[in-house]
Every structure is written in C-alpha cells, then in structure tokens.
Amino acid sequence: MSVTAVVFDYGQVISFPPEHGVIEALARLAGLPAPLMEDLLWRFRPAYDRGTISGEEYYRTLLAEQGVRLGPERLRDLVQLDLDSWKRINPGTARLMEDVKAAGLKLGILSNMPHEFLAFARANIPLFSLPDAGVFSCEAQSIKPEKEIYQALLRALDCPPAEACFFDDMPQNVRGAAEQGIKALLWRDPETARGELRSLGVPV
C-alpha cells in the first residue's frame, strides 16, 4: 500500500536538539548537579507533556523531591529556559516537510509537547500552519508511545495506518507507532529521511 501521509515528530526532528549547556544552565538555576537535573527532567516530564500540570508545577514538583524550594520568579526562569531550548528549527526538515506537502501528500506533526510550547509554536513558528493534522500530547492527553495518541493521529489524518509514514528520534516511539500498523522510521537527519521516503515511492 502506498504512502499517502507523512508525519514528523517535533523535538530533535523538526527542531534541533537543545544547545550544549542547557542542562547545566537549568541545574545552576536549580542548585543541583547536572546529571541529577537531567534525570529529574525526564522522570517527571510525562505529566507536563500530557498537559495535566503547568511548567511551573512541573519544576516545583521535580525540585521538591530533592528538597529544593524556589520562588515563582526562579521557577518562571526555569520554564523559559526550557522552552527556549526547543525553538531552533532544522531548515532541512522544514524543506522536506514543504516538499511532502507540495507532492500532494498529507502532512502531519505528532509530538509530546506541553501547552506552553504549543501556544508559542502556533503563534511564532510558521511551519506549524503547514500540516494537515497536528496531534500534540497536551491536547490529546496521551503521550507517545501510548497507543491512544497514534490512534488520534490516524483519525486526524483520516488515513489507514499502512498509508502513514512517521519519523521520530526515539526508538520507543517508533516501536509504538509500528505496533499500530504505521510505517515508522527512526530519524537520523533530513537527507536520510528524504532517501527513505523516496524508497517508499514518495516523490520528494
């Protein structure tokens, strides 16, 4: 079955990874060692991405486990630094997305993303107006690799699983999509993805 829809993750696929030193900067603001800070960030992230807590609540909760209490201003600084670290768009991915759209295929974004960043992206990143479907964890109240978020994507695309191709940089998210019948590929870079799409018959 041919591919009729191509979907991209956001973080480290559409965007570049956070620049070197972001974890260290967050750790300095929090007064914690960087390795511990990184562990806490990912361990407590699901509720933030699911949209059930705000950015300030996320940082307040993860710091409380270490007995750290910060005032509202410092919490806002942590949230802003975190959000800013995900704003750099990979131009190669942007061109690939534009080419997918120009080829007449449906285009989608599927991402674990908190409310604060989604609001910024919709207002400030023109690429977010391009897809036919955008499914984000904070609105779906489901995070990758849970099956519900992939099912929400397929409904939004109005597309059979076998006709959808999805790129993600996290192996567990690729496996989750594949379990729902989606053609799921591990992201490496825009050039590799372009070649993989061509091998699937997508004229990009």
DSSP string, 48-111: HHHTSS-HHHHHHHHHHTTT----HHHHHHHHHHHHHTT--B-HHHHHHHHHHHHTT-EEEEEE
In a domain, 204, yes or no: no
Omega prior to 145 cis, within 30 of 0: yes
Per-residue pLDDT, 115:
97
Per-residue pLDDT, 144:
98
In a domain, 73, yes or no: yes
Per-residue pLDDT, 194:
98
Query: How far apart (Å, rounded) are the C-alpha atoms in residues 82 and 80?
Result: 5
Longest dimension (CA), the chain: 55
Query: How far apart (Å, rounded) are the C-alpha atoms in residues 139 and 44?
Result: 18
Q: For 123-134, how does the pLDDT look when each residue is reduced to its tens digit (9 = 90+)? A: 999 999 999 999
Q: For 47-90, how does the pLDDT look when each residue is reduced to its tens digit (9 = 90+)? A: 999 999 999 999 999 999 999 999 999 999 999 999 999 999 99
Residue 68 sits in the same domain as residue 113:
no
For the chain, the distance separating the N- and C-terminal CA atoms, rounded to the nearest angstrom, is: 18
Q: What is the mean pLDDT of residues 181-202?
A: 98
Please give the backbone phi and psi of residue 187, each rounded to the nearest 5 degrees, phi first: -75, 135
Confidence category of residue 147, pLDDT binned at 50, 70, 90 = very high
Cα–Cα nearest to 168, from 94, 98, 85, 109: 109
143-170 as b/e: b if 16+ CB within 10 A: bbbbeebbebbbebbebebebbbbbbeb
| CATH label of the domain that carries residue 152 | 3.40.50.1000
Residue 55 sits in the same domain as residue 109:
no
Residue 113 sits in the same domain as residue 75:
no
Residue 1 has pLDDT above 80, yes or no: no
Per-residue pLDDT, 45:
97
Q: What is the mean pLDDT of residues 107-131?
A: 97
Per-residue pLDDT, 108:
98
Per-residue pLDDT, 130:
96
Per-residue pLDDT, 124:
96
- What's the whole-model pTM score? 0.96
Percent of the chain with pLDDT over 90: 100
Confidence category of residue 199, pLDDT binned at 50, 70, 90 = very high
Per-residue pLDDT, 100:
98
Q: Tell me which residue range forms the domain holding 26.
A: 22-84
Residue 131 sits in the same domain as residue 167:
yes
Q: What is the mean pLDDT of residues 86-105?
A: 98
Residue 173 has pLDDT above 80, yes or no: yes
Which of 84, 110, 135 is the C-terminal boundary of a domain? Answer: 84
**Number of Cβ within a 10 Å radius of residue 80:** 12
Per-residue pLDDT, 30:
97
Question: Strand 5-8's sheet: what is its strand order?
Answer: 133-136, 106-111, 5-8, 164-168, 183-186
The total number of structural domains that make up the chain: 2
Cα–Cα nearest to 187, from 166, 202, 162, 163: 166
Q: What is the mean pLDDT of residues 143-158?
A: 98
**CB within 8 A of 142, min separation 6: which ones?**
50, 148, 149, 152
Residue 186 has pLDDT above 90, yes or no: yes
In a domain, 9, yes or no: yes
In a domain, 114, yes or no: yes
Per-residue pLDDT, 37:
98
**Number of Cβ within a 10 Å radius of residue 28:** 12
Bridge partner list, 166? 7, 184
Residue 124 sits in the same domain as residue 98:
yes
